[in-house]
């Protein structure tokens, strides 16, 4: 992000927008930040606390109609207020309005939701997603939270120590994570085991705990076993003939966390996601014993 904005220069690379090169190390070209059509929103929004909302937006207006910007971001009624008087969502809209006042060709968002508490974050995430759709402007977003990335981005690139591990839509990353890191980042359970050819088209995996699981993926040797919480069903007892899922893990219930109308249940090494009604019906409680079941087709294998 700093490279795109012109705040850092790589040893090699090229940055261009609509055919206009901003950086090309092969030709020793590097436009200064003020000549790049970039709107940058920092993690803490970097609003001037001594200035009003109107003055903050006008600071970068470059002749733009400040009133139109305030109206566009639904903050016209806050024009005389100061940043410390605003909610998290309101401060974000002011920061976006100020960034758009420069008439940028690309919008850069640096951890825009990181400073918010969980309740405010969910609300502001929804607002930001709507605003980005309305703006229809190329946007580069940096975040360490996959839930934010999936809600806000059309494509997600997973970077680890400066290297791109995987690039795809949020659905593609979940459907086929390339490695263990991507699987964990996207919210999966990750177990370790040794894979071998099983019966039919299935692969058998012996976990480090000694239990056997099955997957429709092909693999041999040491593997990561990937199971997403929504693929896991939970029961107080296991009746083999009544369940089509091949994989069964018996474990102690470690925690129950309510998220909206869902409950995340920890059963042994696995986290499952069930409806609140199911959790109540099962009478799950910390320290009790439960069974987590999941199908071979929902069990993915990745290299470690």
pLDDT tens-digit map of 167-178? 999 999 999 999
CATH of the domain at 279: 2.40.50.100
Distance, in Å, from the CA atom of 180 to the CA atom of 269, rounded to the nearest integer, reads 16
Report the mean per-residue pLDDT for the chain: 91
Answer yes or no: do 44 and 137 share one domain. Answer: yes
* Helical (H) or strand (E) element with 123: helix 118-135
Domain that holds residue 49: 37-153
Answer yes or no: do 235 and 139 share one domain. Answer: no
Answer yes or no: do 149 and 234 share one domain. Answer: no
pLDDT bracket for residue 124 (50, 70, 90): confident
> Which pLDDT score, from 0 to 100, does residue 175 have?
93
75 contact partners, CB below 8 Å, separation of at least 6: 53, 90, 93, 94, 97
In a domain, 217, yes or no: no
When mean pLDDT is compared across 21-25, 61-65, 182-186, the lowest value belongs to 61-65
pLDDT (mean) for 256-281: 91
**134: buried, middle or exposed (CB in 10 Å: 19+, 13-18, 0-12)?**
exposed
In a domain, 258, yes or no: yes
Q: How many domains does the chain have?
A: 2
Distance, in Å, from the CA atom of 261 to the CA atom of 276, rounded to the nearest integer, reads 6
In a domain, 63, yes or no: yes
> Is 207 a residue whose pLDDT tops 90?
yes
pLDDT (mean) for 279-291: 90
- Percentage, residues of the chain above pLDDT 90: 67
> Which pLDDT score, from 0 to 100, does residue 242 have?
57
Distance, in Å, from the CA atom of 167 to the CA atom of 10, rounded to the nearest integer, reads 21
When mean pLDDT is compared across 108-122, 126-140, 203-217, the lowest value belongs to 108-122
**117: buried, middle or exposed (CB in 10 Å: 19+, 13-18, 0-12)?**
exposed
Answer whether 112's CB lies under 8 Å from 141's CB: yes
> Which pLDDT score, from 0 to 100, does residue 63 have?
62
Answer yes or no: do 43 and 141 share one domain. Answer: yes
Q: What is the DSSP string of 261-282?
A: TEEEEEETTEEEEEEHHHHHHH
CB neighbours (10 Å) of residue 191?
20
Distance, in Å, from the CA atom of 136 to the CA atom of 220, rounded to the nearest integer, reads 45
pLDDT (mean) for 183-193: 96
> Which pLDDT score, from 0 to 100, does residue 243 have?
63
> Which of residues 153, 178, 193 is at a domain's end?
153
> Which pLDDT score, from 0 to 100, does residue 83 have?
94
Interior/surface letters 34-66, b for 16+ CB within 10 angstroms, e for the rest:
eebebbbbeeebebeeeebbbebbbebbeebeb
pLDDT tens-digit map of 218-253? 999 999 999 999 999 999 988 766 567 899 999 999
Return the residue matching tokens 């990937």. Answer: 226
- φ, ψ of residue 10 to 5 degrees: the values are -80, 165
In a domain, 273, yes or no: yes
In a domain, 200, yes or no: no
> Which pLDDT score, from 0 to 100, does residue 62 have?
67
Q: Which residues pair with 97 in a beta bridge?
A: none
> Which of residues 99, 132, 153 is at a domain's end?
153
> Which pLDDT score, from 0 to 100, does residue 141 have?
95
> Which of residues 130, 153, 176 is at a domain's end?
153
**230: buried, middle or exposed (CB in 10 Å: 19+, 13-18, 0-12)?**
middle
> Is 264 a residue whose pLDDT tops 90?
yes
In a domain, 101, yes or no: yes
Answer yes or no: do 233 and 147 share one domain. Answer: no
> Which pLDDT score, from 0 to 100, does residue 135 have?
87
pLDDT (mean) for 252-278: 91
pLDDT (mean) for 44-55: 92
pLDDT tens-digit map of 50-106? 999 999 999 877 667 888 889 988 899 999 999 999 988 889 889 999 998 888 999
In a domain, 148, yes or no: yes
In a domain, 118, yes or no: yes
* Helical (H) or strand (E) element with 88: helix 88-100
């Amino acid at each position: 992000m700093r490279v795109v904005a012109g705040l850092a220069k790589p040893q090699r690379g090229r940055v261009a927008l609509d055919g206009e090169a901003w950086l090309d190390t092969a030709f020793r070209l590097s436009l200064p930040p003020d000549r790049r059509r970039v709107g940058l929103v920092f993690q803490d929004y970097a609003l001037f606390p001594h200035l009003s909302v109107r003055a903050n937006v006008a600071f970068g207006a470059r002749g733009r109609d400040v009133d139109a910007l305030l109206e566009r971001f639904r903050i016209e009624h806050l024009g005389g207020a100061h940043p410390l008087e605003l909610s998290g969502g309101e401060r974000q809209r002011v920061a976006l309005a100020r960034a758009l006042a420069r008439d940028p060709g690309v919008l850069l968002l640096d951890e825009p939701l990181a400073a918010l508490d969980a309740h405010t974050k969910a609300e502001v995430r929804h607002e930001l997603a709507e605003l980005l759709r309305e703006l229809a402007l190329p946007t580069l977003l940096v975040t360490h939270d996959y839930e934010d990335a999936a809600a806000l981005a059309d494509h997600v690139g997973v970077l680890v120590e400066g290297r791109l591990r995987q690039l795809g839509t949020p659905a593609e990353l979940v459907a086929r994570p390339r490695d263990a890191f991507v699987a964990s980042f996207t919210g999966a359970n990750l177990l370790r085991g040794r894979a071998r050819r099983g019966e039919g088209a299935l692969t058998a995996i012996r976990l480090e705990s000694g239990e056997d699981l099955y997957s429709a993926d092909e693999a041999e040797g040491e593997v990561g076993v990937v199971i997403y919480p929504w693929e896991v069903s939970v029961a107080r007892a296991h009746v083999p003939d009544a369940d089509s899922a091949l994989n069964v893990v018996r474990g102690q219930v470690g925690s129950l966390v309510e998220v909206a109308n869902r409950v995340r249940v920890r059963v042994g090494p696995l986290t499952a996601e069930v409806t609140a009604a199911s959790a109540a019906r099962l009478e799950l409680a910390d320290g009790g014993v439960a069974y987590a079941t999941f199908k071979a087709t929902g069990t993915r294998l990745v290299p470690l």
